[in-house]
């Protein structure tokens, strides 16, 4: 039977890949790489570098597929993402059917860990529900950008016995985060920390964490907010893309 591995590769540092991931990558016949256009070609390059660095055999193939764009004319965010997942499902179905022989293994290299803000496992659920192609799959965990951020700032994510809330920039203003002590924010294209928070909290911010473009900044949100906005904007212009993540912490919490 065909087999598909969903492999977490860490979030930018090629040395964050696990031994399990390396061992699995060496079993793979075909790597499917989603590309998101020229601006994010760094992310495709990192995946290819990881393959070259860690795979001993030379007989594997890499197939690059252009990721469909989300349709901006669909007003509802959830519907927009669902339509996008369906488009991805049809692409994956065709790829598995046409590019993998019955006894071969394919792999999708997922940024960070597949369980955190990534659509791959949802797409696989859809594929399984359609029941058109038969395959088994396995998930290999990776180091998330949350862990990478904490390690680079040399911080704990929680105070003693406290919980940690992980959310998105989009949700930050609507979540009841004001009472929470430790909030990790991902997928924030709009600097949501500006409007959403008590300015007395501390921020631990990182962009391109783990890569050679890494930028880290921390301190009182009220003091660092403008610098982060300016640095973020300049980096996005310079590199053509940006990925950043931050922890907001109530300063009473340690
Ligand atoms: C689609 S999510 C993918 C998350 C990924 N699955 C993980 O485990 O970290 C992309 C978001 O993750 C965060 N992210 C991923 N890699 C990052 C990095 N190297 N530096 C900073 N943020 C990163 C950013 O918030 C970005 O908007």
Give the pLDDT score at 28.
97
Dist CA 153 CA 8 (whole Å) = 22
Dist CA 168 CA 171 (whole Å) = 5
Q: Is the distance from the beta carbon of residue 10 to the nearest atom of ligand 1 less than 6 Å?
A: no
Q: Count other C-beta atoms under 10 Å from residue 232's C-beta.
A: 19
- pLDDT of 14-62, one tens digit each? 999 999 999 999 999 999 988 776 566 778 888 888 999 999 988 899 9
Torsion of CA 73, 170, 205, 181, to 10 degrees: -170
pLDDT level of residue 197 (50, 70, 90 thresholds): low
pLDDT(131) > 70: yes
* Probe target for ligand 1 pocket from 42, 110, 111, 145, with the most ligand atoms within 8 Å of CB: 145
Regarding beta strands 202-207 and 182-186, do their DSSP bridges make them parallel or antiparallel, or are they unpaired? unpaired
Of 175-179, 207-211, 242-246, the poorest mean pLDDT is in 175-179
Partnered with residue 61 across adjacent β-strands are: 30
Dist CA 103 CA 178 (whole Å) = 52
The domains of the chain are located at: 2-140, 145-249
pLDDT(85) > 60: yes
Global confidence as pTM = 0.92
Give the Å distance between the CA of 1 and the centre of ligand 1.
Answer: 33
The stretch 246-253 carries a mean pLDDT of: 80
Give the pLDDT score at 73.
86
Nearest residue (CA) to ligand 1, atom 10: 187
Q: Is the distance from the beta carbon of residue 206 to the nearest atom of ligand 1 less than 6 Å?
A: yes
Q: Does residue 114 sit in helix, strand or coil?
A: coil
pLDDT level of residue 212 (50, 70, 90 thresholds): very high
Helix (H) or strand (E) holding 234: helix 221-239
Dist CA 16 CA 54 (whole Å) = 12
Which CATH code is given to the segment(s) 145-249? Answer: 3.30.950.10
Give the pLDDT score at 47.
87
Give the pLDDT score at 40.
65
Give the pLDDT score at 178.
63
Dist CA 136 CA 14 (whole Å) = 27
Dist CA 224 CA 215 (whole Å) = 13
Give the pLDDT score at 37.
66
Residue ranges of the alpha helices (H) in 106-192? 120-130, 145-153, 169-172
Most confident residue range from 58-62, 77-81, 89-93, 244-248:
244-248
pLDDT(229) > 90: yes
Give the pLDDT score at 45.
84
H helices then E strands: how many in the chain?
8, 10
pLDDT level of residue 64 (50, 70, 90 thresholds): confident
Give the Å distance between the CA of 114 and the centre of ligand 1.
Answer: 11
The stretch 128-146 carries a mean pLDDT of: 95
- Please give the mean pLDDT across all residues of the chain: 90
The stretch 179-190 carries a mean pLDDT of: 90
Tell me the fold of 2-140: Cobalt-precorrin-4 Transmethylase; domain 1 (3.40.1010)
Give the pLDDT score at 75.
83
Q: Is the distance from the beta carbon of residue 96 to the nearest atom of ligand 1 less than 6 Å?
A: no
Partnered with residue 182 across adjacent β-strands are: 249
C-alpha distances (whole Å) from 83 to each of 87, 110, 114, 140, 206 are: 6, 21, 20, 27, 31
pLDDT(204) > 80: yes
Please give the sequence-ordered ranges of beta strands (E in DSSP) within 51-173, or none if there are none.
61-66, 105-110, 135-140, 165-168
The atom number, within ligand 1, closest to the CA of 142 reads 8
């Amino acid at each position: 039977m065909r087999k598909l591995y969903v492999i977490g590769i860490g979030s930018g540092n090629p040395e964050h890949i696990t031994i399990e991931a390396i061992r699995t990558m060496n079993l793979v016949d075909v790597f499917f790489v989603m590309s998101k256009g020229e601006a994010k070609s760094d992310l495709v390059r990192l995946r290819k570098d990881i393959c070259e660095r860690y795979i001993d055999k030379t007989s594997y193939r890499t197939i690059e597929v252009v990721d469909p764009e989300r349709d901006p004319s669909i007003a509802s965010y959830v519907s927009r993402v669902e339509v996008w997942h369906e488009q991805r499902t049809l692409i994956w179905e065709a790829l598995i059917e046409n590019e993998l022989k019955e006894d071969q293994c394919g792999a999708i290299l997922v940024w960070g860990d597949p369980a955190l803000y990534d659509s791959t496992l949802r797409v696989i659920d859809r594929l399984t529900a359609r029941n058109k192609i038969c395959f088994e799959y396995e998930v290999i965990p990776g180091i998330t950008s949350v862990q990478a951020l904490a390690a680079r700032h040399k911080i704990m994510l929680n105070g003693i016995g406290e919980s940690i809330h992980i959310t998105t920039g989009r949700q930050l203003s609507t979540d009841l985060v004001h009472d929470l002590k430790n909030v990790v924010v991902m997928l924030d294209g709009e600097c949501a920390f500006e409007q959403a928070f008590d300015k007395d909290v501390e921020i631990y911010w990182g962009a391109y964490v783990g890569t050679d473009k890494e930028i880290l900044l921390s301190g009182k949100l009220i003091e660092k907010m403008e610098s982060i906005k300016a640095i973020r904007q300049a980096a996005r212009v310079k590199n053509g893309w940006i990925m950043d993540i931050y922890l907001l912490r109530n300063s009473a919490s340690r």
